[in-house]
């Protein structure tokens, strides 16, 4: 419960300022002393030195998950929605032109999810949505309810819209097939090695590929290449999901370090 800029938590009062500072300051790889210091900033009167390192991580994750309204929370909730779906490969923070998509799924189709939390603004949204339509078949804007009216004004026809409220997502508009995909942009999003592996006869040269393959063929190989790029990282998350704390999901996707090496050392 929020009261006068504070959050009531199990009988204790946490200031919103302290929660926001905690969310911005916390890192999965923080040492014990830093973790303890962050907790003391939220609960100055409590003692934490008797707790093992994992418990400090868990307390910090719980505070952020329950009281913070930033991007990290919406990312975790997207992960939750997709972790039990079969034949899906997920990914965080893929570069697309000059933007970075927050979350992406690849199965028979590519589906992007751009997040705008309560703490974000929409100043870059039009450019971001234009970039994502160059690469992906289906695209969604995932936003806090405070942005809905403005987001609906900016949303391209093919974009879908999800609203995040009270810890849950509600689909307000279903995405339709995007017909503005640019094969050249898709190829430019692949590494030199990926291009060479996908198009050995063209020596991975983009101009040669575009002269040889049509848009549908490029799109198909684009999806297969992204699946290969992200498969092991996504499967690592699925295999270790019971041992990974919510705010740390993207860190473990990027690193594939065993959770016990972080939480217990």
Query: Which of 68, 89, 116 marks a domain boundary?
Result: 68
Q: Give how many domains the chain has, as a whole number.
A: 2
Are residue 111 and residue 217 in the same domain, yes or no?
A: yes
Distance CA 41, CA 59 (A): 13
Q: Is residue 242 part of a domain?
A: no
pLDDT of residue 84: 83
pLDDT of residue 8: 47
Is residue 11 over pLDDT 50?
no
Phi, psi (degrees; rounded to nearest 5) at 242:
-70, -20
pTM of the model: 0.92
β-bridge partners, 161: 141, 173
Map residue 109 onto helix, strand or coil: coil
pLDDT digits (tens, 9 = 90+) for 74-112: 999 999 999 888 899 999 999 999 999 999 999 999 999
Distance CA 224, CA 214 (A): 16
Q: Give 137's pLDDT tier (boundaries 50, 70, 90).
A: very high
pLDDT of residue 85: 86
Are residue 186 and residue 62 in the same domain, yes or no?
A: no
pLDDT over 70 percentage in the chain = 95
Domain of 177 in residue numbering reads as 73-236
Q: How far apart are the first and last CA of the chain?
A: 35
Closest CA to 247 of 113, 102, 88, 74: 74
Is residue 249 over pLDDT 70?
yes
Query: Which of 39, 68, 97 marks a domain boundary?
Result: 68
Please give the average per-residue pLDDT across 21-38, as a whole number.
96
Phi and psi based region of residue 112 (left: phi greater than 0; alpha: psi -120 to 50; beta: remaining): beta
Q: Is residue 255 part of a domain?
A: no
pLDDT of residue 3: 34
Q: What is the DSSP string of 112-172?
A: EEEEE-TT--STTHHHHHHHHHTT-SEEEEEEEGGGHHHHHHH--TT-EEEEEETTEEEEE
pLDDT digits (tens, 9 = 90+) for 176-198: 999 999 999 999 999 999 999 99
Q: In angstroms, how far is CA 242 from the centroid of its own chain? A: 18
pLDDT digits (tens, 9 = 90+) for 188-227: 999 999 999 999 999 999 999 999 999 999 999 999 999 9
Helices (H), 142-248: 148-154, 183-188, 192-198, 206-212, 215-240
Tell me the C-alpha to C-alpha distance, in Å, between residue 6 and each of 15, 21, 27, 42, 43.
Answer: 4, 14, 23, 11, 13
């Amino acid at each position: 419960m929020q009261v006068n800029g504070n959050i009531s938590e199990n009988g204790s009062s946490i200031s919103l300022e302290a929660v926001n500072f905690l969310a911005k300051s916390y890192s999965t790889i923080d040492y014990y002393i830093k973790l303890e210091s962050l907790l003391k900033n939220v609960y100055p009167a409590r003692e934490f030195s008797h707790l093992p390192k994992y418990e400090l991580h868990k307390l910090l994750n719980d505070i952020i998950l329950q009281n913070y309204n930033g991007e990290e929370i919406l990312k975790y909730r997207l992960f939750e929605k997709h972790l039990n779906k079969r034949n899906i490969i997920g990914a965080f923070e893929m570069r697309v032109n000059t933007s970075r998509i927050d979350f992406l799924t690849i199965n028979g189709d590519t589906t992007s999810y751009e997040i705008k939390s309560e703490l974000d603004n929409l100043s870059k949204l039009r450019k971001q949505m234009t970039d994502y339509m160059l690469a992906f078949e289906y695209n969604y804007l995932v936003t806090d309810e405070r942005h809905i009216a403005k987001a609906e004004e900016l949303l391209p026809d093919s974009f879908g819209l999800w609203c995040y409220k009270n810890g849950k997502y509600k689909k307000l508009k279903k995405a339709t097939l995007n017909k503005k995909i640019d094969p050249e942009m898709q190829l430019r999003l692949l590494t030199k090695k990926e291009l060479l592996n996908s198009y050995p006869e063209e020596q991975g040269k983009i101009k040669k590929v575009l002269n040889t393959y049509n848009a549908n063929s490029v799109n198909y190989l684009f999806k297969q290449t992204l699946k290969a790029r992200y498969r092991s990282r996504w499967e690592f998350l699925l295999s270790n999901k019971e041992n990974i704390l919510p705010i740390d999901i993207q860190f473990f996707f990027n690193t594939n370090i065993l959770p016990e090496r972080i939480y217990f050392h």
